[in-house]
Amino acid sequence: MTAQSDHLNPAQEDCDPETPHAKKAPRETGKPDQLREEERHAEDRQEALVDEGVEETFPASDPVSV
């Protein structure tokens, strides 16, 4: 093996059969909460979830899923 084969460029590395199929991504500190701001204004969290479900499915004919 030569010194050149130790330093593969990204395209060559992707073609290498020994390359893992996925790379580990750094873990985030927590799940992002899209409703944090709306939760203050909503009567409770469940109402905020229903409101978001309606917004995401409107005007589709599918029922709202929460």
Tell me, what's the pLDDT at 24? Answer: 81
Which is nearest to 52 in space by CA: 27, 40, 34?
Answer: 34
**Residue extents of the structural domains in the chain:** 10-57
More confident residue, 56 or 11: 56
Q: pLDDT digits over 27-66, tens only?
A: 777 766 676 776 666 567 788 788 888 888 777 666 666 6
Tell me, what's the pLDDT at 1? Answer: 46
Query: 3-state secondary structure string, the chain?
Result: CCHHHHCCCHHHHHHCCCCCCCCCCCCCCCCCCCCHHHHHHCCCHHHHHHHHHHHHHCCCCCCCCC
More confident residue, 21 or 39: 21
Q: What is the pTM of this model?
A: 0.31
